[in-house]
Structure 1
Amino acid sequence: MSTPAAAAAVTVFRLCFNVPESHLAAVKSAIFAAGAGRYPKSNYTECCWSTMGTGQFRPGDAANPHIGTVGELEYVPEVRVETPCVGEEVARKAVAALRAAHPYEEPSYQVYKVENF
């Protein structure tokens, strides 16, 4: 038999992605509009952690790179953003928003199950 507390538990996911600094505001705006950046039972929204780093990639022959040249190794200053997503539906919507707003053909992102709250 489940208890009321167990019935109220919600799964929280962490969305992590890298984005060129030039598109940081637009991508964060899109994922936050999709519901990312909130914690359960919290009065805070648009929560995230951001750090600067350098992305590296080499576009293949069939690529259409936003930055860089086909066949040449490229280094790009990027921001890594980590943000919570309450529930699987919010995580899926946030990933869809990320992919739509991100300038890369294949944005780098991961989604991790954090815990049940």
Structure 2
Amino acid sequence: MEITRVKLEIYAPESCVDSIRDALNELGACHIGNYDCCTSVSRVAGTWRPLPGADPFDGEVGVLSRGEECKIEVVCPAELAVRAVEAVKRLHPYEEPVVHVLPLWDM
């Protein structure tokens, strides 16, 4: 089995979803067959506690925070994965963006 595509899972504030999608689409991610801008977005609840030295987008150092964010799922050609993650990090407001890169088997 060959891995030619990956799935990106990106956790971000809802206000960033469109700009992240648009940047990834311009790279050639978010394309499935004859379609582009293909994403799935779901709301999720998260928790985080900024540690000393952190500069949080939301929350206070030392305090456990809870909030809603969006999980953006995108299919991306494997050869574009590094550039896609770099693009997300440039646009993302979090100090430590969460981006999962999962291999997809071509069967």
TM-score (norm 2): 0.89
Give the secondary-structure state (helix, strand or coil) at the position aligned to 1:112: strand
> Is the contact between residue 38 and residue 45 of structure 1 (CA under 8 Å) also seen in structure 2?
yes
Deviating beyond 6 angstroms after TM superposition, the runs of 4 or more aligned structure 1 residues are none
Deviations 1:42-71 (A, max 9, x none): 110111111111121000110001111111
Larger strand percent: 2
Match of 2:55 in 1: 64
Unaligned segments of structure 1, at least 5 residues:
1-8
Q: Residue type of the partner of 1:57?
A: W
CA contact (8 A) 1:20 1:76 kept: no
In the alignment of these two chains, the number of paired residues is 106
Give me the whole-angstrom Cα distance separating, in 1, the residues matched to 2:71 and 2:14: 9
Q: Which residue of 1 aligns with 2:103?
A: 113
Alignment of 1:58-97 (within 5 A): 58-87=49-78, 89-97=79-87
Q: How far has the Cα of 1:34 moved from its partner?
A: 2.2
1:52-94 superposed Cα distances (whole Å, 9 cap, x missing partner): 111210001100011111111111211111110013x211111
Structure 2, unaligned runs of 5 or more: none
Over the matched positions of the two proteins, sequence identity in percent amounts to: 33
Superposed CA RMSD: 1.6
Counterpart contact for 1:64–1:105, Cα < 8 Å: yes
Task: State the partner residue of 2:23.
Answer: 30
Task: Give the TM-score normalised by structure 1.
Answer: 0.82
Cα deviation, residue 96, structure 1 = 0.6
Measured in 1, the distance between the counterparts of 2:54 and 2:3 equals 40
- Match of 1:105, as an amino acid? E
Letter in 2 for 1:97: A
The answer (yes or no) to whether the contact 2:46–2:67 under 8 Å persists in 1 is yes
Note if contact 2:3-2:104 (Cα within 8 Å) is conserved in structure 1: no
